[in-house]
Amino acid sequence: MFSEQSPQQPSFGMLRPGYLSAGQAARAVEQFLRSHLPDWVNGQQRNTQRPENTLTVSLCRFLRSRCRKAPTLFDFFPEFPQTDRRRVDLGVHAAEEEGLYVANQMYGLDDVFYTLEAKRLPTPDRRREREYVVGNGAKQSGGIERFKENLHGDSLLYSGMIAYIQEDRKPSWLANINQWIADLATHPPTNGHATWGQNDLLRQETTATPRVREFSSHHHRAHGSPIQLWHFWLYFIAP
């Protein structure tokens, strides 16, 4: 698991150039999340309606604690600065000041090689109900939208999203979100540069636990480069 205790790792967590591809590094972070997110969401069942920022701060503290116990070569940091004075909810960076190599590039404490954006489902304001995908107005506050518009994870090939599922929805949240994406193919945001289409739809992945469900999506960003998003949906209600 991309940790210092792996027998294949060089000493003190330094990765050789080319030792991990961008995809391998992303899979390591996603496997870490897959292993630990169920414990966090199970411990939140008394706080099922907490605000998004409160949940994300709590989640970050939990993940950082689990990183120290592993130990891993990476760590999580909240509100990590991005382009255009934006901040992404969680940035994944090297755990030690010596940094690490991913895809022949050095990543230090101030660099992220994976980012995560978190959203509540449903949003507290019905005017923002599609915010997991796209924002309402000029702010570009949508989760997937920010990745497609190069506002989050710019230059990264892999990143992720987290959904805090606080109410059920009929039809399913997956059906709703994919319909919102399909609508954008014919009625794109007037303030955006990225194009939307069928390739942006979420696809369900195999899930090991009912309170954490996984999906994947592939996107082309405004400047044309691709990004894959891995979605972790955390159920605060009975799934």
SS3 per-residue string spanning 124-171? CCHHHCCCCCCCCCCCCCCHHHHHHCCCCCCCCCEEEEEEEECCCCCC
For the chain, 239 residues long, the average pLDDT of each consecutive 10-residue run is 43 45 93 96 82 94 95 88 78 89 87 94 90 85 91 89 93 96 92 91 92 96 92 90
**What single letter denotes the amino acid at residue 145?**
E
The tally of CA atoms less than 13 A away on the side-chain side of residue 138 is 0
Pairing outcome for strands 112-121 and 212-220: unpaired
State the amino acid at position 8 in one-letter form.
Q
Asked whether the whole model's pTM tops 0.85, one would answer yes
- Dihedral pair phi/psi, residue 150, rounded to 5°: 65, 20
Indicate the DSSP class of residue 20: S
The position carrying tokens 């929805």 is 169
Q: Position 14: which residue type?
A: M
Q: Kindly list the domain boundaries of the chain, sorted by start residue.
A: 11-235
